[in-house]
């Protein structure tokens, strides 16, 4: 049977369409660009993953089709949950994905004001641990101190929670009550844990306080975060210069840290230009970056002496400042071993209202000490007496004054 011209034309067009379709699939697959999901650019040097994603989608569809338990979450919330599981698989307590609600809370914390009890927490040996209570906060007034362990929040065990998930449970509307099951750093048995009820408040994170005490100029820093922290540092440094005092005491006890650039900014007032403040070690994934002093020095180094006070609540940027001044022989350290939070997190915008906080490097002091988990041990160890409270004699401050005048 012969085909007429119209039929042959139809078959010809159909054949061409099928050929182009198959060719498009083939060439589109073999020449597809590799997309770096973090920075969102084409990166053909990376190898494509050979992971089979079919089990994920198969599970997704089976759950949607067959589960008799209705899900209370939206499909988008399920995606956020899947990403959280992915980040948790890396086993790093500081690599976390923030869904829209958590992103808002994270931004509020960095701004220096939020509602909660005023605790900075981290994980040590996979246990949720208090880095430091914020000065004057409900947590501080309740007697919670650096090194205390949080076992439960409102009766819920926190062992399986990430740091930021625990933070979200502790925070809440001002005026509401949260119950924390606290195991003191001085206790050894789980049954010694105490349930402490704390009423949440709007927490305004203090930044810097300065005072003159005889021949000493004292700078007390509660944090390295806040929208005006660098300006506050400059004001404190200028106040020191105006005072004419030759003995400087920087108190970062209970300071959980904050912005890296603020630690660098402060160190630049105290170290000559070009001296190393801290090095970011990328473990071979990228070149290490050494941050140098900008040399803002406003006081003659040859006629001034500095002491930095640290304890178990000193973390992150506080440890960077202490390590930089100590390793460059610019300051003596007095107090107790610091917390040991020395990893670098990069904040990556995933969507318009979600973030990924990923650990990309470790901080090394100028002499190459890794701060992470090790902390910084002062050469002048002075412990605070049990039950010490504001207004009592401060043996750490007293020792620093003695050393500076000797």
* 247-to-82, 212, 252, 378 alpha-carbon distances in Å: 54, 10, 16, 18
DSSP string, 104-155: HHHHHHHHTEEEE--EEEEEETTEEEEEEEPTTSHHHHTT--TT-EEEEETT
Scanning the structure block, which residue is given the tokens 């338990």? 69
Name the least confident of 103-107, 304-308, 351-355: 103-107
User: Concatenated DSSP letters for 37-53?
Assistant: TTTTEE-TTSPPP----
> Which domains are assigned to the chain?
113-204 (2.30.42.10), 208-346+359-405 (3.90.226.10)
By annotation, the residues acting in catalysis are: 316, 327, 341
Residue 282 tokens read as 């990328």
Name residues whose C-beta falls within 8 Å of residue 370's C-beta, 6 or more positions apart in sequence. Answer: 281, 342, 362, 363, 364
- Strands (E) across 205-353 are located at 208-213, 216-221, 247-251, 276-281, 289-292, 305-310, 332-335, 343-351
List, in order, residues 6 or more apart from 88 with CB less than 8 Å away. 162
CA distance 193 to 151: 8
Sign of CA dihedral 324, 327, 328, 334: positive
CA atoms within 13 A on the CB side of 157: 4
Q: For residues 88-112, give the mean pLDDT.
A: 82
Whose tokens are 């500095």? That residue is 306
| More reliable by pLDDT, 313 or 40 | 313
Checking if the pLDDT of 38 tops 80, the result is: no
| Token pair listed for 226 | 């806040």
pLDDT band at 189 (very low <50, low <70, confident <90, very high): low
Torsion angle, alpha carbons of 114, 210, 256, 102, to 10: 20
Please say if the pLDDT value at position 79 is more than 80. yes
Mean pLDDT score across all residues of the chain: 84
Q: DSSP of 176-212, one letter per residue?
A: -EEEEEEE-TT--SGGG-EEEEEE-EEEE---EEEEE
Nearest to 199 by CA among 141, 256, 133, 146: 141
pLDDT greater than 90 at residue 363: yes
The answer, yes or no, to whether residue 28 has pLDDT greater than 80, is no
**pLDDT score of 22:** 35
- How confident is the model over 322-362, as pLDDT tens digits? 999 999 999 999 999 999 999 888 889 999 999 999 999 99
* β-pair partners for 290: 279
Cα dihedral 367, 372, 374, 377 sign? positive
Q: Is the pLDDT of residue 383 over 90?
A: yes
Contacts of 154 (CB under 8 A, 6+ apart): 169, 178, 179
Band (104; pLDDT cuts 50, 70, 90): confident
Tens digits of residue pLDDT in 241-286: 999 999 999 999 999 998 899 999 999 999 999 999 999 999 888 9
Instruction: Indicate the pLDDT class of residue 187, thresholds 50, 70 and 90.
Output: low
Adjacency order of strands within the sheet including 216-221: 208-213, 216-221, 247-251, 305-310, 332-335, 380-381
């Amino acid at each position: 049977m012969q085909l007429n011209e119209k039929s042959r034309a139809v078959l010809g067009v159909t054949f061409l369409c099928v050929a182009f379709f198959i060719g498009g699939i083939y060439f589109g697959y073999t020449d597809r660009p590799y997309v770096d999901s973090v920075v969102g650019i084409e990166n053909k040097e990376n190898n494509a993953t050979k992971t089979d994603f079919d089990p994920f989608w198969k599970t997704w569809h089976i759950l949607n089709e067959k589960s008799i338990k209705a899900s209370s979450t939206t499909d988008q919330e399920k995606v956020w949950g899947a990403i959280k599981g992915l980040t948790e698989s890396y086993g790093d307590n500081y690599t976390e994905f923030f869904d829209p609600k958590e992103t808002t809370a994270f931004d509020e914390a960095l701004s220096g004001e939020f509602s909660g009890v005023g605790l900075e927490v981290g994980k040590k040996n996979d246990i949720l641990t208090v880095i430091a209570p914020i000065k004057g906060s409900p947590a501080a007034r309740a007697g919670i101190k650096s090194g205390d362990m949080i076992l439960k929040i409102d009766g819920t065990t926190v062992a399986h929670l990430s740091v930021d998930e625990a933070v979200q449970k502790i925070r809440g509307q001002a005026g509401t009550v949260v119950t924390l099951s606290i195991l003191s750093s001085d206790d050894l048995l789980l049954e010694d844990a105490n349930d402490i009820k704390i009423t949440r408040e709007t927490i305004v994170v203090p930044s810097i306080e300065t005072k003159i005490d005889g021949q000493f100029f004292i700078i007390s820093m509660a944090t390295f975060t806040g929208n005006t922290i660098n300006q506050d540092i400059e004001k404190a440094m200028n106040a020191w210069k105006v005072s004419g005092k030759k003995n400087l005491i920087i108190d970062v006890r209970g300071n959980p840290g904050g912005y890296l650039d603020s630690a660098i900014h402060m160190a630049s007032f105290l170290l000559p230009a070009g001296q190393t403040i801290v090095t970011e070690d990328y473990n071979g994934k990228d070149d290490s970056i050494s941050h140098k002093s900008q040399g803002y020095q406003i006081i003659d180094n040859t006629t001034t002496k500095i002491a930095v006070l640290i304890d178990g609540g000193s973390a992150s940027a506080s440890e960077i400042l202490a390590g930089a001044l100590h390793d460059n022989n610019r300051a003596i350290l007095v107090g107790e071993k610091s917390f040991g939070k020395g990893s670098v997190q990069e904040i990556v915008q995933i969507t318009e209202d979600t973030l990924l906080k990923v650990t990309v490097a470790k901080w090394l002091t100028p002499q190459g000490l890794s701060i992470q988990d090790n902390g910084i041990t002062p050469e002048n160890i002075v412990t605070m007496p049990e039950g010490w409270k504001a207004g009592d004699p401060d043996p750490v401050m007293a020792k620093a004054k003695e050393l500076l005048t000797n």
